[in-house]
Amino acid sequence: MQLYNKLSAKEREALLEEAGEDRLTLSFYAYAKIGNPELFRNHLFIAWDQMDVLGRIYVAHEGINAQLSVPAKRFNEFKAFIDNIYFLKDVRLNIAIEHDIKSFLKLKVKVRNKIVADGLNDNTFDVTNKGVHVDAAKFNELISDPNTVLVDMRNHYESEIGHFQGAITPDVDTFRDSLPIIEEDLKEHKEDKNLVMYCTGGIRCEKASAYYKHRGFKNVYQLEGGIIEYTRQVQNQNLENKFIGKNFVFDHRRAERISDDVIAQCHQCGKPCDTHVNCANEACHLLFIQCEECAEKMNNCCSDNCKEIAALPYEEQKKLRKGKGASNKIFKKGRSEVLLFKQ
């Protein structure tokens, strides 16, 4: 019985190109009490592997967080399968605005301590006691109210390329960093302001809204379905779009364009640009913003040193990496000292 992916990304990419079939990129999450995450994980992998589902899925005692690529022709089969899981029946599926048959190249289902790492050791709050979910129309109404504080619950490299007008965008590297910072900054407004939050698909806001209610905030709201669902409702209902720039996504597409505004800059030359790339030196793999001109000049690398390494024969690069762990520069997401123009 196969319980793990056996194909490399390159092998899978070739198969997808050869098949040439439409695929849907989607995401969903659910907070629920899962008694045996490992058993549940295996159940999901076996079923989804047979359906040719690809993606990155985290399972924990507190629920599931999934980003997936599903063959379009098997979507109904996929939907019927998850509807047979009691806490996933009719779960909201955030269908991507833009699709790519190679948004995911492997099926990875992993058991984690939590589906959203929060750094909290507080077990006294109920993650299901969430804030009020609002749709796009109500969200636009709320954020136009001067009595509202709008907070982006994403990380700096996400909000750097796109965010809602007037939002507080914490300069943080992780979700866990944002929770105490936001609470401290807004502690004087626990009762007199509307705390409205948003994120990519809703999962971070859901946990944050429950936490802030636990910490004494009285009027807590979250954008249901996050930026992804907001964009769909804006388009379908002809509402005013108050999101500027791109929505960062955690797959090979890296972002979906929501408006024509380019609010970020190339981290190497400073010109307007909002295209995230990974450094071509596999020993670095730093995520940063790079324009086409700098990509050509630097051979898709973040620095001259990485450019020199990436130009070496592949076997020599492997020798240089041998015995070395992944550099934590990977996770600096544009904060590396080698980048001249960075947030």
Residue 86 exposed, middle or buried by CB count within 10 Å (0-12, 13-18, 19+): exposed
pLDDT of residue 343: 53
Whole-model pTM: value is 0.83
Same domain, yes or no: 136 and 227: yes
Same domain, yes or no: 162 and 198: yes
283: confidence class by pLDDT, cuts 50, 70, 90? confident
Same domain, yes or no: 291 and 328: yes
Same domain, yes or no: 163 and 88: no
Residues 6+ apart with CB under 8 A from 165: 242, 243, 244
Active site residues: 199
Domain-terminating residue out of 179, 203, 232: 232
The answer to whether residue 160 sits within a structural domain is yes
Q: Which has the closest alpha carbon to 111: 59, 146, 43, 76?
A: 59
Kindly report, residue by residue over 285-331, the tens digit of the pLDDT: 899 999 999 999 999 999 999 999 999 998 888 888 876 665 555 55
pLDDT of residue 271: 97
Quick one: average pLDDT of 178-202?
Answer: 94
Quick one: average pLDDT of 16-45?
Answer: 93
Cβ atoms < 10 Å from Cβ of 96: 21
340: confidence class by pLDDT, cuts 50, 70, 90? confident
Number of domains, the chain: 3
CATH number for the domain spanning 86: value is 3.30.70.100
pLDDT of residue 23: 95
Q: Could you give the residue ranges of the DSSP H alpha helices within the chain?
A: 9-19, 37-50, 75-83, 136-143, 156-159, 175-185, 203-214, 226-237, 292-297, 304-310, 314-321
Domain-terminating residue out of 211, 232, 253: 232
Same domain, yes or no: 192 and 283: no
The answer to whether residue 243 sits within a structural domain is no
Q: What is the mean pLDDT of the chain?
A: 91
Q: Which domain holds residue 172?
A: 132-232
The answer to whether residue 265 sits within a structural domain is no
CATH number for the domain spanning 143: value is 3.40.250.10
